[in-house]
Amino acid sequence: MEKEIIAFLKQDKIIDTQSADCKDLQAIYFDNSHESLEVIRHSCAHLMAQAIKNLYPEAKFFVGPVIEDGFYYDFRVENKISEEDLIKIEDKMKELANLKLDITKYEISKNEALTKFKDDDLKQEVLSKIPNEVVSIYKQGEFEDLCRGPHLPNTKFLKFFKLTRIAGAYLGGDEKKEMLTRIYGTAFADKESLKEYLHIIEEAKKRDHRKLGSELKLFTFDDEIGGGLPIWLSNGARLRSKLEQMLYKAHRLRGYEPVRGPELLKADAWKISGHYDNYKENMYFTQIDEQEYGIKPMNCVGHIKVYQSEVRSYRDLPLKFFEYGVVHRHEKSGVLHGLLRVREFTQDDAHIFCMPSQIKEQVLEILNFVDKLMQLFNFSYEMEISTKPEKAIGNDEIWEIATKALKEALDEQNLKYNIDEGGGAFYGPKIDIKITDALKRKWQCGTIQVDFNLPNRFKLEYTNHENEKKQPVMLHRAILGSFERFIGILIEHCGGEFPFFIAPTAVGIIPISDNHKAYAKEIHKMLLELGIDSEIYEKNESLSKKIRIAEKQKLPMILVLGDDEVSKRNVALRDRRAKEQKNLSLNEFINLIKEKISEVYF
């Protein structure tokens, strides 16, 4: 299909061709640009709704927005729709698209719309959230719906789309309201892009951390325990412990001091910090001795109290405290998703207390730490500065100073970054670290936040070189974000084939018969002394079955031990990463392991 103009861009706002004055506008062509895909996918959402209405005439529709990688529509229908029905809906969409229906827009007053849709409670719900006195409606064939747009001029453009899944969604995201049906889909401007996307979707299903977490016996969830509360099994706990130990050493080498704050604090402390007013809906509270306490959603207040435990001088700064802090946040059940969205998690959290003149230096040092860690796990990443949100503490001047400090640190090193207006924490602006995995998906992980507000609220002080009392700056910093989320992302990034240095079981040892078990146990002990976990496969099964079981666990290395290996004190090594098999002396194998361990450094 030749490139056609499908919309216009004016000051970052997309405008329909049918309603645009074409002067001084930038044309949007039918391609896979961000702006074009937004129009294509928005139009495809309406095409899906039209197809559903054709197949299920009683269907009523709520909203159908564009999302990061596609679109969805929430609707009510009497029939139960399953995954199998998506093909039927897709076929109807293709049939309607081939009719080459013009997509037109008209406007009516809000009162007229309320009358027009008086028998449709979902439309009434949508209209109740629209502040404007004039609303727009888009129409194609017999189908029409309330919508701001913009849309394609004709359904002929919609050829390359796919409905990806079906789910339930509470009306307006409110758990107290009814559950609607939600269908997700995506669309592209060409067949190749759709094909590539669907390949990634299929690969993502194979790499789903929940599936691999079960197969590799890393973690589980139990309804008797509660949603969003992961239970770490032995393999997962080993993996996590290795990650924690590695990071502990890296922190200490960078001058961080380990500290630990309580998980339960009086509500008064959360009132001083501002969490009570700005974050209460995400917290859990309880009563102890008729006093209100809050379970911590963040580690900041505990670290502030560590700072206040002594009188501080400018000679002490910067002070760097770190903690693997367990936090709890109230998440709606509908958004819980394996390890990626949980109610209890552990942050690799740190707070740096410094003088204003030290902000840039400290931010750059953190970014260096981030870079080393991302390289270690083969993640590419980008950065985004998030500015003052609508719900925030502190005046605009303080926010401006903090935001400028972050920008200057990045600009000085010629580091690229995007701006997320209004995306900051309620107490300060931040740099968000967004990593890209092997399937080219972006994930929010680490963060660096500059905070003048909490030091002011808690009256933090240090004595400067002129013996004057001054207020320090507080830098909030997490690199992984949380161990849970990072491990979930890592599982999918490497498909369960973990790097050797954190693999929960790095070596599988397979004795061919009982005569070789003593040698297997000797090697197992030697590896354990080096900090390497191994497993001996000693069940009374065939050699081929033992190898298959070990390979299914995606172990980096497998050793096969028989008479020859025992007599010569050798090992028959299968290296999964190098995709090779070779015979080594035991000493050569142990030296190989030591080399692999030494490759990990910061």
516 alpha-carbon distance from chain centroid: 46
| C-alpha angle 455-461-465 in degrees, rounded to nearest 5 | 135
Distance CA(214)–CA(574), nearest Å, equals: 25
Contact 187, 70 (CB under 8 A): yes
Cβ(154)–Cβ(99) below 8 Å? no
How is residue 502 annotated by DSSP?
A: G
Catalytic residue among 42, 76, 328, 329: 329
| Identified catalytic residue from 349, 437, 451, 533 | 349
User: Nearest-CA neighbor of 386 among 264, 464, 476, 293?
Assistant: 476
Taking CA atoms, 113 is separated from 75, 147, 525, 563, in Å, by 19, 12, 76, 85
Side-chain-facing half-sphere of 270: CA atoms under 13 Å: 24
**Torsion sign, CA atoms 518, 523, 527, 532:** negative
The token pair that represents 26 in the structure block: 């930038």
Among residues 351, 477, 516, 596, the one annotated as catalytic is 351
Q: Is 470 among the catalytic positions?
A: no
Q: With contact defined as beta carbons under 8 Å apart, do 537 and 509 qualify?
A: yes
Residues 6 or more apart whose Cβ sits within 8 Å of residue 135 = 107, 108, 109, 110, 113, 127, 146
Element (H, E) at 582: strand 580-585
Gap between the Cα atoms of 430 and 478, Å rounded: 11
- Selected catalytic residue, list 74, 238, 296, 300: 300
Check if 296 is active-site. no
For residue 440, is it left (φ>0), alpha (ψ between -120 and 50) or beta? left
CB 312 within 8 A of CB 319: yes
Surface-to-core class of residue 518, CB atoms within 10 Å of its CB (0-12 exposed, 13-18 middle, 19+ buried): exposed
Q: Does the active-site annotation cover 308?
A: no
Phi, psi angle pair for 600, to nearest 5°: -95, 110
User: In three state form, how does the secondary structure of 403-446 look?
Assistant: HHHHHHHHHHCCCCCEEECCCCECCECEEEEEEECCCCCEEEEE
H-helix segments, 59-190:
85-97, 110-116, 121-128
Instruction: Check: CB of residue 322 under 8 Å from CB of residue 251.
Output: yes
Catalytic residue among 242, 251, 312, 347: 347
Provide the token pair at 153.
């001029």
Q: Which residues contact 128 (CB under 8 A, 6 or more apart)?
A: none
Left if phi > 0, otherwise alpha if psi is -120 to 50, otherwise beta: which for 132?
Answer: beta
Cα–Cα distance measured from residue 72 to residue 185, given in angstroms and rounded to the nearest whole number:
6
User: Which secondary structure element, helix H or strand E, spans residue 345, and what is its range?
Assistant: strand 344-354
Which among 41, 76, 328, 430 is annotated as catalytic? 430
Q: How far is CA 392 from the centre of its chain?
A: 23
Q: Assess whether 430 carries a catalytic annotation.
A: yes
Does 300 participate in catalysis according to the annotation?
yes
Q: Which of 53, 251, 343, 476 is catalytic?
A: 476
Which residues are annotated as catalytic?
300, 329, 347, 349, 351, 430, 476
